[in-house]
Amino acid sequence: MTTDLWGDLPAPGGDAQRVDALRAQLHEHAHRYYVLDEPTIPDAEYDRLFRELHALEAAHPELLTVDSPTQRVGGKPLGQFASVRHTVPMLSIRTETDTESTGAQNFDARVRKELGLTAADPPVEYVAELKFDGLAMSLRYEHGVLVQAATRGDGEVGEDVTQNIRTINQIPLKLPGRSAGPPQARPAPLGGILRQAQDDRDSEVGSVGAIFPPAVMEVRGEVYMRRADFEALNEKQRELIAQGAKGEKTFVNPRNAAAGGVRQLDPAIAARRRLSFFAYGIGDITPPEEGGPVFENHLQLLLTLKSWGFPVAAKTALARGATELIAFHQTIGKTRDALPYDIDGVVYKVNSLALQKKLGFVTREPRWAVAHKYPAQEQLTTVLAIDVQVGRTGKLTPVAKLAPVFVGGVTVTNATLHNEDEARRKDVRVGDTVIVRRAGDVIPEIVGVVPPSGRPEPVEGSALAEGPGQAQPGRGLQFTMPRQCPVCGSDAVRLEGEADYRCTGGLFCAAQRKEAILHYAHRRAVEVDGLGDKLVEQLVDANVIRTLPDLYKLGLTALASLDRMAEKSAKNLLDALEKSKQTTLPRFIFGLGIRHVGEATAKELARHFGKLDAVMEASEAQLLAVRDVGPIVARSIRTFFDQPHNREVVEQLRACGVTWQEGEPAAVAPQPLSGKTFVITGTLPTLSRDEAKDRVEAAGGKVAGSVSKKTDYVVAGAEAGSKLLKAQELGIAVIDEDALLALLG
């Protein structure tokens, strides 16, 4: 494409020509953007052209046409869909459930037999396509203009969903015509369709450009949703639900989301769904005797559709005989998870249309096509229990125990529910029937609960769509995270701003043993030379060590009896342990593995308090006075030492002879802001809101979220809004960051 043809040329004359020129440009750019994924102009330029067209159409309503790019959205909500009788029925395909190579062999053998071919005859030529997991659609074009889009329905009668389908940017509203000028009649490049489909076929391909859309043509294909668009949609839905929006729900898979979008009565909602389309065939078409095109084979048909602007999957190939069908099935099977959309198999079609005709149909299925499946990625099963597992770092994870089910190629008995919010959002309960999805090597996931029969599935927008937490007779209890660690009984807490609950019994908890010992023995913590990953694994698994103090009770005999442990290494480890007893307070504090207490914080704590007991007894407020300790860290330290088991371990370590030099507490930091309440608003020049808050609190002040008569100072930064106004109204002192720093001293 050169700019000469598509540059923003002035209209040769009058608004009508300008409108035509704008539409042609917008059609072309939309095709480049949505179908070819190769935009040639910036989005802003597209928007500018679009607005210009819109303005011209508003000024001259007589120039408005249904195929104008401005008409994708704008239809009024319908009361119901009208029925559409398909002129040519929409067939289904026979499914080969044998997911092994034999599936392709059986099909090829059947075709050869029907055609009366013998082993001496050459291989049959097929087109191998992807089997998209969406919903079938028939798009009717009359004189190049999209006039109707209908769902498959029962194959004979479907529903008129034209308004919604027009919102799909990948679907052309208008096809190139003989008179449309060179740019649109130019066939789209063939790039994309597998090379297999191109070799030695230049003449065939070259002829494609000469075929123009006939007076009547129905394009058949699949409306689907890309995985990324599906994830984004669900993310948005989750936000809406979190904000308390009524009647909103998340979608279990891209197919359901696409189907829901197509069946929206309000096209504005459908437009927000971001649906996509792949063309794979034709229905009704002007016959050759009335000037319709003559296609010789299916591939030629696909390439023609592509040249008219329809998306045709790049992973389409010509395959000769069963061997090449099997190769296609296997290649696609391997890359299936990397595709940006779901497929549930591949489709083989006899390429020659003459042979297709010869083969004909059995009931409603053509003998010339078959769908060859892959192992299902979704299955139904029952939830037997919801367990809570504790990870090495203390994270509590709800895990659904499932009745064993074969899905995505393996038997699945567990599926993670990630965290409490996620478990509640999905509202999975014991006894529920759930859909389990395992795509590729992704860990198995529960995509949703299947409502028991009698409890109708919530329909979008209906009062039945219910959020979690509502009473539902006959079901198990809603999941609640235990407040005690299921492994060691210590408190399980969820810190502000975090999604996970964590066990706070780090030193004692069996689940965290290995991690706790490794951390304690780390070079920068208490340092036990030679106590690495493998050895800790061995010691804990052999039950030689249960908690940290057990380290110092190790004897030579016990150690030397471990697998692959030479007496010399055992002796070395005992020496290292002996040496580790002489440590420093910062190393010891760091070695305890308190969440959010790294090396630097450990040093600050040691410097500030001087003695371990003082750290262990410090209140959250006192901890806040330590440099760099904010509310989250203070809370974490306090909770850790509130666990009797953790304290016990510390005492035992001391009893084992672990010692350090204690010092005097650093001069108690002055508390210049004690008793003062601050409100921070706007963007401060150097401090983040959190930093400012931490500093105020460390200096003894309080930070509140809203301005009231009790507020002493409002710290205002750039773009401070209503809080600043309120402060001025109440006559409260307003200061800037510099003044705050001065107050902090």
**Site residues (CB under 6 A) for ligand IVH?**
91-93, 129, 131-132, 136, 152, 222, 280-281, 347, 366, 369
The SS3 of residue 5 is: helix
* Closest-approach residue to ligand IVH (CB): 136
- Cβ nearer to ligand IVH, comparing 302 with 703: 302
In the bound complex, what is the minimum distance in angstroms from residue 194's beta carbon to ligand IVH? 14
What is the rounded distance in angstroms from the CA atom of residue 161 to the CA atom of residue 266?
Answer: 10
Contact 425, 417 (CB under 8 A): no
Q: In this structure, how many other beta carbons lie within 10 angstroms of the beta carbon of residue 333?
A: 16
- Cβ nearer to ligand IVH, comparing 347 with 559: 347
Residues 6+ apart with CB under 8 A from 120: none
- Cβ nearer to ligand IVH, comparing 369 with 383: 369
In the bound complex, what is the minimum distance in angstroms from residue 440's beta carbon to ligand IVH? 20
Polymer length of the chain = 745
Question: Comparing C-alpha atoms, which of 386, 423, 381 is closest to residue 404?
Answer: 381
The SS3 of residue 10 is: coil
In the bound complex, what is the minimum distance in angstroms from residue 267's beta carbon to ligand IVH? 22
3-state secondary structure 377-444: CEEEEEEEEEEEEECCCCEEEEEEEEEEEEECCEEEEEEECCCHHHHHHHCCCCCCEEEEECCCCCCC
In the bound complex, what is the minimum distance in angstroms from residue 280's beta carbon to ligand IVH? 4
Contact 573, 517 (CB under 8 A): no
Structure tokens at 587: 């190393």
3-state secondary structure 463-525: CCCCCCCCCCCCCCCCCCCCCECCCCCCEEEECCCCCCEEECCCCCCHHHHHHHHHHHCCCCC
In the bound complex, what is the minimum distance in angstroms from residue 425's beta carbon to ligand IVH? 31
Is 131 part of the annotated catalytic residue set?
yes
Phi-psi region of 598 (alpha: psi -120 to 50; beta: other; left: phi over 0): beta
Sheet holding 216-224, edge to edge: 145-151, 135-142, 216-224, 276-285
Question: Comparing C-alpha atoms, which of 601, 599, 587 is closest to residue 629?
Answer: 601
Residues 6+ apart with CB under 8 A from 525: 519, 587, 588, 590, 591
- Cβ nearer to ligand IVH, comparing 135 with 241: 135
- Cβ nearer to ligand IVH, comparing 131 with 174: 131
In the bound complex, what is the minimum distance in angstroms from residue 363's beta carbon to ligand IVH? 12
What is the rounded distance in angstroms from the CA atom of residue 566 to the CA atom of residue 587?
Answer: 30
Q: Provide the β-strand partners of residue 84.
A: 158
Q: Provide the β-strand partners of residue 23.
A: none
Q: Which of 131, 174, 306, 426 is catalytic?
A: 131
Contact 517, 536 (CB under 8 A): yes
In the bound complex, what is the minimum distance in angstroms from residue 314's beta carbon to ligand IVH? 13
- Cβ nearer to ligand IVH, comparing 326 with 680: 326
Per-residue burial over 565-588, b = 16 or more CB atoms within 10 Å of its CB, e = otherwise? beeeebeebbeebeebeebebbbb
721, with CB counted inside 10 A (0-12, 13-18, 19+), is exposed
In the bound complex, what is the minimum distance in angstroms from residue 218's beta carbon to ligand IVH? 12
In the bound complex, what is the minimum distance in angstroms from residue 137's beta carbon to ligand IVH? 8
What is the rounded distance in angstroms from the CA atom of residue 191 to the CA atom of residue 615?
Answer: 68
Residues marked active site are found at: 131
